[in-house]
Amino acid sequence: MRRPATAPLARSEIYGDDGPDLDDPAELFHEASKLRPALARRQAAGIVRLEGNEALGAAAARAVRRNPQRRTLPLPAPRRPPCTLWTAIDRRRSRRSFRGAIDDGALATLLDAAYGLREPGRRTVPSGGALYPLELYVALRGRGVYRYDPELHLLEEHEVEDPWPAVTRASPLPSLVDDAAAAVLVLAVFGRTRFKYGLRGYRFALLEAGHVVQNLALAAAALDVVALPFGGYYDGCVDELAGADGVDESVVYAVVLG
């Protein structure tokens, strides 16, 4: 079979006619977050600090945000749809024609697959140093915004107003979310991984968000729920939905469901 020709991108197509700026932030960050033998001692400072500090270790092992004064909503036990992993992989697609409401059983299954607790202290996804720097917020159309508590498998109320006007404002293409029912916002609490891994912790937070969204997408395929991974949102709008300051904490990925 003849392979179609690949289309190499000219540097000017990537960076514009003048090439990347000397202080291009993406390059600077990538360089600054590289592990190097010459810097190993300095770069391992967080790891050493963690080893010698029992209280820090205990806090790091319990990376879950809980506001006991907030109302909680129980979630049904996650379902186990009769779909093999291979069928889910084959079926997964980013679809944009949503089918409407998602019942709590499907929502519970999706959140559990995405970031649920397994044996004590572990989740459905890998995490650098098992630090779990992410929190999942779910904006439910007509209902409010909730934080998923993986330890207790419940929703904690974050905001009771209908989030959909805000979700719509967050999309550069508002009609995209017209018929959707929910949006899962993957919030990174950068400090939870940065205290140990320094700048590389930022890479880890993003990588881990990818693990979460892939689990969610495969579970959605198994449940026949439409799921659209969504990175092209206005950051300020989604951060506001999750109550994040956009600096220490920020939404790094989202999935629209329906």
Ligand X SMILES: Cc1cc2nc3c(=O)[nH]c(=O)nc-3n(C[C@H](O)[C@H](O)[C@H](O)COP(=O)(O)O)c2cc1C
Q: Name the site residues for ligand X (rule: CB under 6 A).
A: 93-94, 228-232
Q: Which is nearer to ligand X, 132 or 230 (CB)?
A: 230
Residue 78 or 230 with smaller CB distance to ligand X: 230
A 10 A CB-CB count for 190 gives 17
Element (H, E) at 108: helix 104-115
Identity of the residue, 232 or 243, whose beta carbon is nearer to ligand X in the bound complex: 232
Instruction: Please state at what angle helix 104-115 crosses helix 200-223, rounded to 10 degrees.
Output: 140
Of 149 and 233, the one with the shorter C-beta distance to ligand X is 233
Residue 17 phi/psi, 5-degree rounding, is: -60, -30
Q: Tell the smallest beta-carbon distance from residue 229 to ligand X (Å).
A: 4
Closest CA to 167 of 178, 151, 155: 178
Least Å distance, CB 30 to ligand X, is 17
Instruction: Kindly state the tokens that stand for 174.
Output: 């508002």
CB of 252 to ligand X, least distance (A): 10
CA 91 to chain centre: 21
Minimum CB–partner distance for residue 34 and ligand X (Å): 22
